[in-house]
Amino acid sequence: MHDRAAGGFIGSHLCEKLMSETPHKVLALDVYNDKIKHLLEPENAHPWSDRIQFHRLNIKQDSRLEGLIKMADLTINLAAICTPADYNTRPLDTIYSNFIDALPVVKYCSENNKRLIHFSTCEVYGKTIGSYLPKDSPLRQDPAYYVLKEDESPCIFGSIEKQRWSYACAKQLIERLIYAEGAENGLEFTIVRPFNWIGPRMDFIPGIDGPSEGVPRVLACFSNNLLRREPLKLVDGGQSQRTFVYIKDAIEAVMLMIENPARANSHIFNVGNPNNEVTVRQLGEMMTEVYVKVSGEPKLETPTIDVSSQEFYGVGYDDSDKRIPDMTIINKQLGWNPKTSLWDLLESTLTYQHRTYAEAVKKAISQASATS
């Protein structure tokens, strides 16, 4: 697995928006460009052909990076290893990708007086205060103990043996470094904390456009199960709670940050949808219903199975209990609110997944059964 930047899930949607709705020029940096090919080819077919340039590079070892940052007014850093399956099986890569490899980007922006929008994660919050209260405590229902606020909530991680937190810890440290660059050296920065952005082109389908043994994030994992007509695997019963926001809503928030530097600089923004909260089990059930509608295929007799986190992710896995973003700061500074319901965003995403992958998956399954 490589870090993804302009050519990844978020980067591709952002490039699309910048091309179709603004006059901005984009220098798109990534190792791959498969998800933005439609913006780059064929040459001169789009009105924006002269406004987007793709540079194939890996930010961790490329001498061209500083020159490209100097050419731009604003750098948006999306490069990261951000798949939970990697955090405790590849903790060194995870820490290097999210902290060490991000250092030159911050340094070059600071030294050349360039603005930086850095993508962090809601994982920097770790666990909620409420998760440490007794199970039967009424305070667990009090938002003060679980709603996550950019300027108030602590970052609570598990013990060092729980290597799942290698990602969150690296992300927190780069946030602190960026904040310090702002305080000491005047770096103009905005930090984005995404809360489960969902939509077309997210992650990969194992064995189709990603490694067969790969384990993507929950939405692509469940999509893969649905496409293959396998039961959805619920880790530790799927009790963790999450909120999901539609990629197109989230990109609107990023556009507001780009266009309003005076209101966005020196701020950390939660970007999520507190109205779309479900347990992972409920998400699986909802996706199963939506996929029946989208594909016309009947539901499996056993739509879900429970697996332990150790079995699914390996030793050292841990999880956060709830992730509900407080929206006060982004609302006040940028006037942004998400619009799309969970059902609608799942319908849009699964329609895309079915249209893009259903035939390829069927072919892969029939080839596998022919050779077995």
The mean pLDDT value for 5-20 works out to 92
Mean pLDDT, the chain, rounded, equals: 89
Q: Is residue 285 part of a domain?
A: yes
- Residue from 167, 291, 313, 317 carrying the catalytic annotation: 167
| 113 has a pLDDT exceeding 90 | yes
For range 143-147, the mean pLDDT: 93
Q: Are 52 and 25 in contact (CB under 8 A)?
A: yes
The whole-number pLDDT of residue 87 equals 79
Residue 3 inside a domain? The answer is: no
pLDDT of residue 112: 97
- The better pLDDT of the pair 225, 215 is held by 225
Q: Say if 370 falls within a structural domain.
A: no
pLDDT at 52: 93
Specify the pLDDT at position 44: 61
Question: Residue 318: pLDDT band by 50, 70, 90 thresholds?
Answer: low
Which of 117, 127, 194 has its CA nearest to residue 154? 127
Token pair for 171: 């992300």
CATH number of the domain bearing residue 85: 3.40.50.720
* Domain annotation covers residue 306: yes
CB 251, CB 17: distance < 8 Å: yes
Q: Looking at per-residue confidence, does 3 or 198 come out higher?
A: 198
Decide if 296 is inside a domain: yes
Note the pLDDT tens digit of each residue in 322-364.
889 999 999 999 999 999 999 999 999 999 999 988 888 888 7
Contacts with 184 (C-beta within 8 Å, 6 or more apart), sequence order: none
Residue 123 has pLDDT above 90, yes or no: yes
The domain of 207 spans: 9-363
| pLDDT-wise least confident of 120-129, 187-196, 309-318, 357-366 | 309-318
Q: What is the pLDDT of residue 363?
A: 83
Q: Regarding predicted confidence, which is higher, 138 or 212?
A: 138
**Cα distance between residue 87 and residue 317, in whole Å:** 8
Banded model confidence at residue 55, pLDDT cuts 50, 70, 90 = very high
Per-residue confidence (pLDDT) for residue 320, from 0 to 100: 61
Residue 244 structure tokens = 């999901």
Report cis status (omega within 30 of 0) of the bond before 104. no
Q: How many domains does the chain have?
A: 1
Task: Tell me if residue 167 is catalytic.
Answer: yes
How far apart, in Å, do the first and last CA atoms of the chain sit?
28
- Residue 372 counted as domain residue: no
Output the CA–CA distances (angstroms, integers) from residue 31 to 57, 289, 360, in the order listed.
5, 36, 24
How far apart (Å, rounded) are the C-alpha atoms in residues 95 and 113?
A: 27
Q: Residue 31: pLDDT above 70? A: yes
Residue 23, amino acid: P
Judge whether residue 165 has pLDDT over 70.
Answer: yes
Cα–Cα distance for residue pair 278/318, rounded to 1 Å:
19
Q: Averaged over 263-283, what is the pLDDT?
A: 96
Which of 144-158, 213-227, 273-287, 350-364 has the weakest average pLDDT?
Answer: 213-227
Paired strand residues for 242 = 278
pLDDT range class, residue 304, cuts 50, 70, 90: confident
| pLDDT band, residue 1 (cuts 50/70/90) | very low
Residue 2 banded pLDDT, cuts 50, 70, 90: very low
Which of 150, 155, 151 has its CA nearest to residue 128? Answer: 155
Give a yes or no: residue 314 inside a domain.
Answer: yes
pTM of the predicted model, to two decimals? 0.92
Domain assignment of residue 116, yes or no: yes
Query: What is the pLDDT at residue 105?
Result: 96
The predicted model gives 103-130 an average pLDDT of 96
Task: Give the lowest-confidence range in 177-181, 189-193, 362-366.
Answer: 362-366
